[in-house]
Structure 1
Amino acid sequence: MGKNDFLTPKAIANRIKAKGLQKLRWYCQMCQKQCRDENGFKCHCMSESHQRQMQIFGQNSDRIVDGYSEEFEESFLELMRRSHRFSRVAATVVYNEYIHDRHHVHMNSTKWATLTEFVKYLGRTGKCKVEETPKGWFITYIDRDSETLFKEKMKNKRIKLDMAEEEKQEREIRKQIELAASEQLEATKTESNLADDPARDLNLEAGVKVGFSLASSSTLSNKDNNTSTTTTSKLVFEEADNNNKRKISKENNKTVGNSALEELMREEEKVKEKINRKDYWLCEGIIVKVMSKALAEKGYYKQKGVVRKVIDKYVGEIEMLDNKHVLRVDQDELETVIPQIGGLVRIVNGAYRSSNARLLGVDTDHFCAKVKIEKGIYDGRVLKAIDYEDICKLA
């Protein structure tokens, strides 16, 4: 057995002494050797093996540094993906977890001199979301795996298909409304023409009756006077009756038209309500209130936060407004927030789901609100009684 073989007492003693992390300045990345003190590192630097490694490094130093940098970045992001995939965490916490492995790639062998430079590089390249706070640098992993990208694409595709289906239904309903309106106009025109024609016939007949008569002059004059008064009175009453009939027919047509339009609108509302009413309502960019009593000890009970991310439709990553802490809370332990009158809200459930609107009024007795939709295909539509639970304040 050799002097420094694996099972010799010297080798075993060295391994026992080398347990745990040693000082970084006594580590040689090229030889992957950790020295315990300055004297040991000095002896290692004077050794023949180290000199050969340094000659190799001198021949192509940039390539070797880039290789170590890539290896360091890959292993750091792999740790982020495994341990902190959906959370916002301090960069120092991740780095301390990373260097627990004794055989990791040390940062002094990469192109980044400090952890801050490396964190800024991750933010610039879009691999992590980076935030600078008084407590230090915080990073959030951006998941760009093929599986998650495929899921996002499928989700966006489904949303587009749903929007296209809604637009189709909207177009069909509008066509039906236009057809109904045109039919009503034609019906009113024909009724008005029919109402005008009898009056003209009566005028002609009355004129004929008045113009031609066979009798004596005295009787003629009397008859003429009587017939003229009777015909004029008949004409007056008939014209008044016709006018009343026209007014009544127009009012009936208007009421029929309005009722038909209202009926179509109600049908449209029912169809959209059936399609868009879901058992989940969380969406990004809204302000919610935490109602979990389990978080009361930590001071989060009845505190407000912004939904930054929705996980599996029912769980939200909430960034608290007071201290910027990020929590994961189920939607059953959250509550919608109603802004002041005139504020912007997001419709989170029901027929007009995912539309932005402006709050016009609040009915506290019936727990509902009046809103006006802004932007989108329903722009300008006013909803008079929408439940508190179906709207939420926009961040």
Structure 2
Amino acid sequence: MGKNDFLTPKAIANRIKAKGLQKLRWYCQMCQKQCRDENGFKCHCMSESHQRQMQVFGQNPNRIIDGYSEEFESTFLEHMKRSHRFSRIAATVVYNEYINDRHHIHMNSTQWATLTEFVKYLGRMGKCKVDETPKGWFITYIDRDSETLLKEKMKNKRARADLVDEEKQERDIKRQIEKAEEQSAVVDSEPPPPPKALEKYETNEKIAFNLGASSSSKPLMKQKGGESSTKPVFEELETESRGGASKGGGSGGGGALDELMKEQEMAKERMNRKDYWLCEGIVVKVMSKVLAEKGYYKQKGVVRKVIDKYVGEIEMVESKHVLRIDQEELETVIPQIGGLVKIVNGAYRGSLAKLIAVDTNKFCAKVQIDKGIYDGRVLKAVEYEDICKLAQ
């Protein structure tokens, strides 16, 4: 057995020593060799094998560096996708996890000299969301997989279809309102018939009053030559009065219109009332007592992302920390009078509105829709749970 064979004590000792991570500056990517100290790295650089690799490198250095850079970037993002797909995490933490593999592509062989330069590059290319904080650089992976993009596209398509249905429903309501107003205007524009004066005939006929008759009988009768006549004197006037009463009853169309609008509102309420209300861009209050020890209880944060409809990634206003909290442990925030709110549940779910007044006794608010197809509409009794302050 040779001196440096695979199972010799010296070879085993060398492998044991090489298991841990060594300094980056003593690693040769071209030869894929890690040296343990400066002297070893110097000896390696003077070796014949390293000289041959450097001659290959000298023929096309840009191509080799670009290849290593591309491989480093792809493996780094693959690790982000597997381990921290939906999280905002420190760049140093991700890098330390990535270099745990001894055979990774080392950064000294890429076009980036430092981790900060690499993080800035990811932000410029739109592959990660990058934030600089007093605690260092934080990155968030941007998922651009075909499956995720397809799901997002279908979600947007459903949202647009719902919006089109709402607009169509709103147009139908407006058309019915205009039609009812036109009909009532035509009825109001017709002049009432002029009253007819009573005419007195100079005849010898006697007028008799039937006092014993019932209320349904004719109250006033003519007599001629002692024979009673069945024709009432004011028959024409009674007919006209009945006709006027029937026209007056036609004004009840407004009540039918109110009923129709109420039914439409109830239909929208049933369609848009959900058991989840979280949405991006609103300010919420953390009500989890489990987080009280860490100082997050009753603290406000902004919803940056919604996961599976019920869980939100909340960026705290004061500490800028990002937490994942279920909506059961969150509460809506009501702004000051005149502030912008978002309707998060109910018939007008998703609309932006302005807070006009607050009724603290009934725990409801009065808002005016600010944008969208319902612009200008005033909602008088909206519960606190259905509106939330909009992040500026």
> TM-score, length-normalised on structure 2?
0.85
| 1:320 has 2:316 as partner | yes
Cα displacement (A) at 1:143: 0.9
Cα displacement (A) at 1:252: 5.9
| 1:394 has 2:390 as partner | yes
What residue in structure 2 maps to residue 235 of structure 1? none
List per-residue Cα deviations over 1:345-387 (Å, max 9, x = no partner): 0000000000000111111111111000011010000000011
List per-residue Cα deviations over 1:123-176 (Å, max 9, x = no partner): 000000111111111111111111111110110011011111111111222222
Q: 1:288 aligns with which of 277, 284, 291?
A: 284
| 1:268 has 2:287 as partner | no
| 1:124 has 2:124 as partner | yes
Query: Which residue type is aligned with residue 106 of structure 2?
Result: H
In 1: Cα distance, 2:2 partner to 2:349 partner = 77
What residue in structure 2 maps to residue 60 of structure 1? 60
| 1:372 has 2:368 as partner | yes
SS at match of 1:319: strand
Query: Which residue type is aligned with residue 82 of structure 1?
Result: R
What residue in structure 2 maps to residue 218 of structure 1? none
What residue in structure 2 maps to residue 39 of structure 1? 39
Query: Which residue type is aligned with residue 385 of structure 1?
Result: A
Q: 1:330 aligns with which of 326, 329, 334?
A: 326
SS at match of 2:10: helix
In 1: Cα distance, 2:69 partner to 2:247 partner = 83
Cα displacement (A) at 1:186: 2.9
What residue in structure 1 maps to residue 15 of structure 2? 15
> TM-score, length-normalised on structure 1?
0.85
In 2: Cα distance, 1:289 partner to 1:353 partner = 20
Contact 1:177 1:264 in 2 (8 A): no
In 2: Cα distance, 1:29 partner to 1:171 partner = 68
In 2: Cα distance, 1:279 partner to 1:299 partner = 28
In 2: Cα distance, 1:317 partner to 1:263 partner = 42
Say if 1:14 and 1:81 are closer, same or farther in 2 by CA, change over 3 A.
Answer: same
Contact 1:86 1:140 in 2 (8 A): yes
Contact 1:188 1:253 in 2 (8 A): no
Identity %: 76
SS at match of 2:108: helix
In 2: Cα distance, 1:21 partner to 1:124 partner = 31
| 1:89 has 2:85 as partner | no
SS at match of 2:19: coil
Query: Which residue type is aligned with residue 23 of structure 1?
Result: K
Say if 1:251 and 1:321 are closer, same or farther in 2 by CA, change over 3 A.
Answer: farther
Contact 1:188 1:250 in 2 (8 A): no
What residue in structure 1 maps to residue 98 of structure 2? 98
What residue in structure 2 maps to residue 343 of structure 1? 339
